[in-house]
Structure formats: C-alpha cells, structure tokens
Chains A and B, each alone.
Chain A
Amino acid sequence: MFTVTFVEPTVIRLAGRLDASSADQAAAEFQKIAGSATLDFKELEYISSAGLGVLFAAQKRLKSAGHALKLVNLNSHLRDVFKFARFDLVFDIE
C-alpha cells in the first residue's frame, strides 16, 4: 500500500511502501508537482531502488526548471539508503 497526499500544493505526504509495485503510481503523482516542494517521509516505511529512481527523476525535472524537492522525517533505514546512494548530495534532507 502506497499513498501520496497533497497536504498543501507544496507539502506532500508519502505513506506506506514505495517499491517496484507502486513506482508507476508515484511517478504519476510526482508529475503533478510544479515547483519547489517538501516531501514528508514520516509515514513512508520502505523504499526500493525503483522508488529511488522515481524520486531522482522528479528532482532532475524540477531542478532543470530552477526548483527542488526537500525531504523531511526520514526513518533511520531510509536515511541510510539515501546516504549510501549519495542522494544527500542531490536532495536537501532534513
């Protein structure tokens, strides 16, 4: 189960599991982000490389237009994955 909730146009809450089964759904939701925004990971339990790829593509698209995604409330597993993937150089992570 994976859900994306636009709490505000620039605050987006992710919940559940962002894996290969939910990556297409996530990509479609992230296409709706038109400017800089904050992704709240508080309720995101799991991410796979398919999920990382979707996030990476969204950041690449937004940065090419002068915007960026900020990631907040990552659990310790996700924080490790992002560090190993060197996504801490690609995203502002709080």
Chain B
Amino acid sequence: MERLYPRSMETLPIILEAVAAFCAGHGAAGDSTFVISFAVEEIFTNMVKYNPLGPDNVSLTLMSKGNDLVVTLEDEQDHMFDPTTSPDPEFEKSLSERRPGGLGLFLIKKMVRKVEYRREGRRNTITLTHPLE
C-alpha cells in the first residue's frame, strides 16, 4: 500500500499511526512494530529536515511478504541519502566530547534485519525488511 505524506514534521504522528495499524493488522510482534516505527521515524525525519525544498510529499509503502514486513520510503533530492553507509557515532569519545549525531541511522542498521538503498536519477529509495515476529 503506497501513500504520499506531506513533507512536514506535523505528519509524523499520522505516519506512525499508519505503521502501527499496518503492523497490528498483520500480526506483527511488539518488537517488530517498535523497530519499524523507529526506522520510519528516523528516515522520514531526515527527509523532512535535510530536503526541505524537495517535492511536497514523501512516499511510504507498507507491505507484507511471507513472514516479513517490507517498508519503502522514497524521495527526490539532489544528493544521496544512503543510510547503509552513514558513519557510526563517536562512541570512542568521552561524554563531554561526544555528540549524539548519527545515532538514529546507526540504530536502524543495528535493529532492522535488512536495509537497502537505491538511487535512480534524483530518486532515493530506502527499503527496510524486518520479520513480522
């Protein structure tokens, strides 16, 4: 099911409700719903923050495939947004030196079973695959 959502932080609660409803409707475990909600929020927030002049809407597709939940977010922008190659946070630094940047994408890579990125023309496509249970 593909839907377009306005590029705005005000849309976030609506998106997270849609994700929760889809997960519940497909019998997803609480862990899976948490992980997918976390990942969708992080990626959508990045698209809103770092591509403010992009098209009015961001595309979100929710599907189930076998025992997996497959979530795709698509956006058009001038630059790549590849969460699979984002640098890890500065864990080696002390608390006073450490900044929280990069933590969300790092956590997606740790928690979601498969994260894929594709760029075609100006279109960035991020696909998340995670077990329903």
Interchain CB contact under 8 A, A85 and B12: no
Q: Choose, from B60-68, B69-77, B100-108, B117-125, the stretch at the interface.
A: B100-108
Q: Cβ of B96: which chain A residues have Cβ within 8 Å of it?
A: 60, 63-64
Interchain CB contact under 8 A, B100 and A20: no
Query: Whole-angstrom distance from the CB of B29 to the nearest CB of chain A?
Result: 10
Interface range for B: 20 to 34
Interchain CB contact under 8 A, A85 and B107: yes
- Asked whether B111 is an interface residue with its Cβ less than 8 Å from the other chain, the reply is yes
Q: Cβ of B57: which chain A residues have Cβ within 8 Å of it?
A: none
Task: Identify whether the interface residues of A are mostly helix, strand, loop, or mixed.
Answer: helix
Which residue numbers of A lie inside 8 Å of B, CB to CB?
17, 19-21, 46, 48-50, 52-53, 56-57, 59-60, 63-64, 76-77, 80-81, 84-86, 90
Which residue numbers of B lie inside 8 Å of A, CB to CB?
9, 12-13, 16, 30-31, 34, 37-38, 41-42, 45, 89, 91, 95-96, 98, 100, 103-104, 106-107, 110-111
